């Protein structure tokens, strides 16, 4: 254990000297994919609530595909599959983007968490109480203002507990990153394991780190819930 | 009876100088080898499920010399040392290179064979395995291999982009897709696993690695046994010497390779 800590503390924390690795890489994957997923999910959740099948249909299909297949398969398809396509190879912008392993990983992670987050927000928006909406209408709000000032703030608050779950599941999903050569915490733990052949030390340490991150996330979300959902308590 | 026994004992003693006799309580009737049978031509499973390959044949030859039964057990490589410690088998026979790290955990026999590390590049790229040639290029290696350590020790500090992969097949896939400019692995794996397959037609060996002052590539490939069993190790070493002496080794080598895979580095001891 001490050997692993002495030799791998830097790689576990932030860098192997050349690339970002370990905790820094895992958190970077988590934050960026959740941020993109969130921005993606908000408009899609509104579209999913539309009555026009040409608007909610594609969003439903996106959710159906990305929630219906394993993230591992999605990552493999995007990392190995997409870059192998001819038109991607021949379009410099696309080739440049998909050549990078971290781009592919973030792309697939964001699409995946985006699909789940869309479903969470969709449910929350759908369940907005009629009273709130009617009050807004009676106030003479336009549809846009109604969404901006009543429905979305209310829906996001109510979605918070479910969303925190999704973020923690996403943290656990980042362990797939090394499939696409991105050196996250698990990759460093794997290095430590192959150097020492001490599975409980190497992977136990990784488990402990994930536990700490999960726990910090839970604490953060609990604080946020207490702040934003205070009016719902009782 | 005694008269008959005395010469037999004398013969046994004479033999004893060449072949160490067992003093263990358990009768020595078989050796169980742990094998990761995913690494042709050294060890793999035939379509019918039988173990086959150069290592397997060498193992059988060793057992034949020692006049014991040979049993092979399949075990994935990353868990093969813990499995040996857990007594799932008596010895590791799985193209394992002797490295200082591994030698801390288990003991190794004398050299079985030795294969150089080589760089695969696209034909016509002109890349050779040196930091100067590969500067600014991307080189793929399999995580956990000595080749990964090599590339990270000598090349990465000098501006070569080294990328680690979970499996060797992924390295080849990215070499084909163009993400990688070159890949580093042992030469026989490169030859059998890639260059001799249809996919590898446009690729060639850019050269073998020779520069290794820090000895990260380790020494040679050997059989691994638990540290508390010097008797078994002595027997295996003796059998390896015998199959070299009686020509069995050369015959088996000719069956698989068209070059000498024994590097005669036997003088170089395991660290």
- Would you give per-residue pLDDT tens digits along chain A (234 residues)? 888 888 888 888 888 878 889 999 999 999 999 999 999 999 999 999 999 999 999 999 999 999 999 999 999 999 988 988 888 888 889 988 998 999 999 999 999 999 999 999 999 999 999 999 999 999 999 999 999 999 999 999 999 999 999 999 999 999 999 989 899 999 999 888 887 878 899 999 999 999 999 999 999 999 999 999 888 764
Q: What is the pLDDT of residue A233?
A: 61
To the nearest whole angstrom, how far is the Cα of A186 from the nearest Cα of chain B? 12
Q: What's the confidence (pLDDT) of residue A85?
A: 86
Per-residue pLDDT, B5? 52
Q: Considering the domain boundaries, does residue B262 fall inside one? A: no
* A180: closest chain B residue by CA: B165
Which pLDDT does position A165 carry in this prediction?
A: 94
Number of alpha helices (DSSP H) and beta strands (DSSP E) in chain B: 10, 13
Structure confidence by residue, pLDDT tens digits, A137-167? 999 999 999 999 999 999 999 999 999 999 9
Q: What is the pLDDT of residue B263?
A: 65
Q: Given an 8 Å threshold on Cβ–Cβ distance, is B177 in contact with A197?
A: no
Token pair of A54 as six digits: 């040409």
Q: Taking a C-beta distance cutoff of 8 angstroms, is the pair A199, A193 a contact?
A: yes
3-state secondary structure of B70: strand
Share of chain B above pLDDT 90, in %: 46
Sign of CA dihedral B81, B86, B88, B90: positive
**Confidence at B21, pLDDT banded by 50, 70, 90:** very low
Over residues A75-85, the pLDDT tens digits come to 999 998 898 88
Could you tell me if B105 and B13 lie in one domain? yes
Same domain, B95 and B15: yes
Residue B1: per-residue pLDDT: 46
Helix axes B230-245, B248-256, angle to 10 degrees: 80
Check whether residue B39 and residue B105 sit in a common domain.
Answer: yes
Copy the structure tokens of residue B105.
């955990």
Contacts of B137 in chain A (CB under 8 A): none
Neighbours of A199 (CB within 10 A): 14
One DSSP character per residue, A21-70 reads -HHHHHHHHHHHHHHHHHHHHHHHHHHHT-S-HHHHHHHHHHHHHHHHS-
Range of the domain at B92: 2-114+220-256
| Cβ burial B230-257 (10 Å sphere, 16+ → b, else e) | eebbebbbbbbebbbeeebbeebbeebb
B166-222: pLDDT as tens digits = 888 889 989 998 899 999 998 887 888 788 889 888 998 888 888 888 878 877 899
On the question of pLDDT at B238 being above 90, the answer is: yes
Same domain, B204 and B232: no
Same structural domain, B96 and B229:
yes
- In the block, tokens 């890949």 appear at B183
Question: What pLDDT, on the 0 to 100 scale, is given for residue B26?
Answer: 62
- Both B110 and B234 in one domain: the answer is yes
Pick from B78, B165, B177: CB nearest A84: B177
Of B91, B85, B89, the residue nearest B104 (C-alpha) = B85
Instruction: Say if the Cβ atoms of B144 and A83 lie within 8 Å.
Output: no
CB B84 within 8 A of CB B230: no
Q: Please give the pLDDT value at position B20.
A: 47
- Give B-chain residues touching A199 at CB under 8 angstroms: 79, 82
Task: Say yes or no to pLDDT of B23 above 60.
Answer: no
Per-residue confidence (pLDDT) for residue B17, from 0 to 100: 46
Tokens of residue B146, six digits: 């000595």
**B133 in the same domain as B105:** no
Which residue ranges make up each domain of chain A? 2-232
Q: Under an 8 A CB cutoff, do A99 and B101 touch?
A: no
Degrees (nearest 5) of the Cα angle B228, B229, B230? Answer: 110
Provide the percentage of residues in chain B whose pLDDT is more than 70. Answer: 86
Predicted confidence (pLDDT) at residue B4 exceeds the cutoff of 60: no
The verdict on B106 and B121 lying in the same domain is no
Question: Quick one: tokens of A117?
Answer: 């987050």
* B7 and B109 within one domain: yes
Please give the residue of chain B at the shortest CA–CA distance from A183.
B164
Flag if A197 and B105 touch (Cβ within 8 Å): yes
**Is B213 within a domain?**
no
Task: Report which of residues A185 and B261 the model is more confident about.
Answer: A185
Chain mean pLDDT for chain A: 92
Is B60 a domain residue? yes
How far B101 CA sits from the closest chain A CA (Å)? 7
Does one domain contain both B125 and B138?
A: yes
Identify which of A151, A146, A107 has the alpha carbon closest to the alpha carbon of residue A129: A151
The pLDDT of residue B234 is 94
Summarize the confidence of residues B244-250 as an average pLDDT: 92
Domain count, chain B: 2
Judgement on whether residues B6 and B109 belong to the same structural domain of the protein: yes
pLDDT digit string, tens, across residues B69-93: 999 999 888 889 999 999 999 999 9
- The ipTM estimated for the assembled molecules is 0.76
CATH classification (class only), A2-232: mainly alpha
> Does residue B137 carry a pLDDT above 90?
yes
Nearest to A195 among B101, B163, B179 (CB): B101
Interface residues on A facing B, Cβ-Cβ cutoff 8 A: 16-18, 80, 83-84, 89, 99, 101, 178-179, 181, 183, 187, 190-191, 193-197, 199
Residues 6+ apart with CB under 8 A from A184: A21, A22, A25, A26, A29, A174, A175, A177, A178
Look at the block and give the residue holding tokens 């781009």. A103
CA A97 to chain centre: 20
Helix B54-66 with B230-245: angle, nearest 10 deg: 100
Query: Is B227 among the domain residues?
Result: yes
CATH of the domain at B34: 3.40.190.10
């Amino acid at each position: 254990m001490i050997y692993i800590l002495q030799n791998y503390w830097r790689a576990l924390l932030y860098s192997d000297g050349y690339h970002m690795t370990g905790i820094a890489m895992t958190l970077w994957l988590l934050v960026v994919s959740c941020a993109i997923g969130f921005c993606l999910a908000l408009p899609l959740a509104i579209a999913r609530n539309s009555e026009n099948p040409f608007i909610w249909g594609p969003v439903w299909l996106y959710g159906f595909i990305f929630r219906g297949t394993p993230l591992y398969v999605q990552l493999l398809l995007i990392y190995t599959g997409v870059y192998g396509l001819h038109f991607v190879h021949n379009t410099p912008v696309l080739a440049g983007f998909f050549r990078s392993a971290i781009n592919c990983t973030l792309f697939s992670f964001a699409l995946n968490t985006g699909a789940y987050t869309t479903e969470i927000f969709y449910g929350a928006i759908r369940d907005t109480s009629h009273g709130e909406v009617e009050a807004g209408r009676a106030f003479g709000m336009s549809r846009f203002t109604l969404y901006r000032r009543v429905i979305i703030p209310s829906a996001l608050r109510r979605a918070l507990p479910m969303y925190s779950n999704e973020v923690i599941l996403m943290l656990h999903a980042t362990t797939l990153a090394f499939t696409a050569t991105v050196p996250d915490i698990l990759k460093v733990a794997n290095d430590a394991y192959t150097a020492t052949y001490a599975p409980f030390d190497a992977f136990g340490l990784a488990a402990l780190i994930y536990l700490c991150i999960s726990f910090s996330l839970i604490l953060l979300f609990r604080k946020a819930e207490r702040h934003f959902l205070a009016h719902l308590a009782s | 009876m005694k008269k008959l026994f005395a010469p037999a004992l004398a013969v046994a003693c004479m033999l004893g100088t060449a072949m160490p006799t067992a003093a263990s309580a358990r009768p020595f009737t078989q050796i169980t080898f742990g094998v990761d049978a995913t690494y042709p031509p050294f060890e793999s499973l035939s379509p019918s499920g039988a173990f086959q390959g150069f290592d397997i044949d060498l193992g059988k030859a060793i057992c034949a010399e020692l006049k014991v039964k040979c049993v092979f057990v399949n075990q994935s490589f990353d868990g093969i040392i813990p499995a040996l410690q857990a007594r799932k088998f008596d010895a590791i026979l799985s193209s394992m290179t002797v490295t200082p790290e591994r030698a801390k955990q288990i003991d190794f026999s004398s050299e079985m064979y030795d294969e150089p590390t080589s760089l695969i590049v696209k034909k016509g790229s002109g890349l050779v395995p040196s930091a100067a040639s590969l500067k600014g290029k991307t080189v793929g290696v399999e995580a956990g291999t000595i080749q990964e350590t090599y590339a990270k020790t000598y090349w990465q500090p000098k501006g070569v982009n080294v990328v680690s992969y979970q499996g060797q097949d992924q390295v080849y896939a990215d070499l084909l897709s163009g993400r990688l400019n070159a890949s580093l692995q042992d030469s026989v794996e490169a030859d059998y696993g890639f260059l001799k397959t249809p996919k590898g037609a446009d690729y060639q060996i850019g050269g073998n690695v020779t520069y290794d002052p820090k000895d990260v590539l380790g020494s040679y490939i050997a059989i691994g046994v638990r540290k508390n069993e010097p008797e078994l190790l002595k027997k295996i070493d003796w059998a390896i010497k015998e199959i070299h002496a009686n020509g069995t080794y050369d015959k088996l080598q000719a069956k698989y390779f068209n070059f000498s895979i024994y590097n005669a580095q036997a003088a170089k001891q395991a660290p």
